[in-house]
Amino acid sequence: MSLFVTNCFEFSSIIEAAGDVDLVAPKRRKRSFLGDKLNRVANKLRRVARKPRRIEMEPYVIEDDYEFFFFVCLNVDQLVDVPAFVNRQDKCRKSAVMLLEVINSELASQTETLRLLDTFDHVFAFSRHSAEALQQYTKTPCSFLPGGADCLATGPASLKTERPINVYSMGRRSEDLHCQFRSWSDEGDFFYVYDIGHGLTAYSLKDARALTLSMIRRAQYFICYNMMVGPKAKLLGGKDWIPFRFFEGAAGGAVMIGSRPECAEFKDLFDWPDAVIDMPEDPASARPLLESLNRDPRRVTTIRYRNMVEALRRHDWVHRWENVLVSMSVAVPAGVMVRKSALEERIVTLSAEYEYLINLLSNITPGA
């Protein structure tokens, strides 16, 4: 299983837990080893010819009647599997699709696949400019739906939770800064956790996700870069969006360091002070910055508290699911309110603890 689909997995799990939902994941078509190799070659040739890839899912017949069908997929390429639900339009009164990632520069080569969007009542995309770009290829209304996180699983229950990891880096990164952190780690007492490969697979998405979230909530600093850093930058045409790392880092209560996304939605959704600490371009200046933060426990405690509370208040996946249901005029199940109550209870607990800790730290001079 690819680690790149964990956000789909997590969102779908929250939707299922909210109740009144049947979660369906059709099986992948079975092929022999040789058949699988030939299929990959065929799909590469189809991509060159600007044709959709072959359907990977086995046909799935929906037995019951449903008010709402919600298709969660990583990207436009996965829309090809929509017809696997052979009687979807007969058994479901309304339907919507969610796309976690859309590369605008590739849409012109995906027009045949994008026609499948016309079979839905609504399209949700996780960046505002992607929703606008998709609207040029379908008559179906397209809307912006922000990313999110499982805030209860990602965030620690206490502000006093130990954070033995000094810096945690996952996904896109600055190689110069990475080398700097590596050197600090080699020198001595500096615990730096980072990715060691690309396209890794896991035995279990659930286990992989649990490990990732565990490291986020045990990290003092969590690296978050905007989409202009990394290999995809040249494909975006200067159109930035909010990577999932920012929602996860805030929910985990880490101090996020890196570069903030240059888009209006980031200013709306992460509008609190110190949501992201901008890292200097010169890697040699990174250490003094972190040392300065470490000498100011009140500021760091406030950053962690505010990140967690803002995420709990508005960036949990259940908030996104509620937005979808309200947009589609579909009844919101009681489980949504139950989870929102649990989020509020966590806020109350953290707020009381924060007030206590700030009082303790009030007599400590920064840098002392």
pLDDT value of position 240: 76
3-state class (DSSP) for residue 360: helix
Residues 145-176: tens digit of each pLDDT? 999 999 999 999 999 999 999 999 988 888 88
Q: How many percent of the chain have pLDDT more than 70?
A: 87
Between CA 327 and CA 68 the distance in angstroms is 12
Between CA 239 and CA 253 the distance in angstroms is 28
pLDDT value of position 195: 85
Query: Is it the case that residue 332 has pLDDT exceeding 80?
Result: yes
Beta bridge partners of 255: 221
> Residue range 41-65: average pLDDT?
75
* Cβ atoms of residues 326 and 8 within 8 Å: no
Nearest to 2 by CA among 74, 98, 80: 74
* Cβ atoms of residues 15 and 336 within 8 Å: no
Phi-psi category of residue 122: left, alpha or beta, with phi > 0 → left and psi -120 to 50 → alpha: beta
What would the DSSP string read from start to end of 62-98?
--S-EEEEEEEESSGGGGGGGGGBTTHHHHEEEEEEE
Residues 344-354: tens digit of each pLDDT? 999 999 999 99
Between CA 202 and CA 96 the distance in angstroms is 29
Nearest to 9 by CA among 205, 244, 216, 154: 205
pLDDT value of position 92: 96
Residues 210-245: tens digit of each pLDDT? 888 999 999 999 999 887 676 665 666 667 779 899
Amino acid at 192: Y
Query: Is it the case that residue 133 has pLDDT exceeding 70?
Result: yes
* Cβ atoms of residues 238 and 263 within 8 Å: no
Beta-sheet pairing, 255-258 with 219-224 = parallel
pLDDT value of position 152: 96
Query: Is it the case that residue 9 has pLDDT exceeding 90?
Result: no
> 10 Å Cβ neighbour count for 138?
16
> Residue range 91-106: average pLDDT?
92
pLDDT confidence tier of residue 138, bands split at 50, 70 and 90: very high
Residues 260-318: tens digit of each pLDDT? 988 889 999 999 999 999 988 788 888 899 999 999 999 999 999 999 999 999 999 99
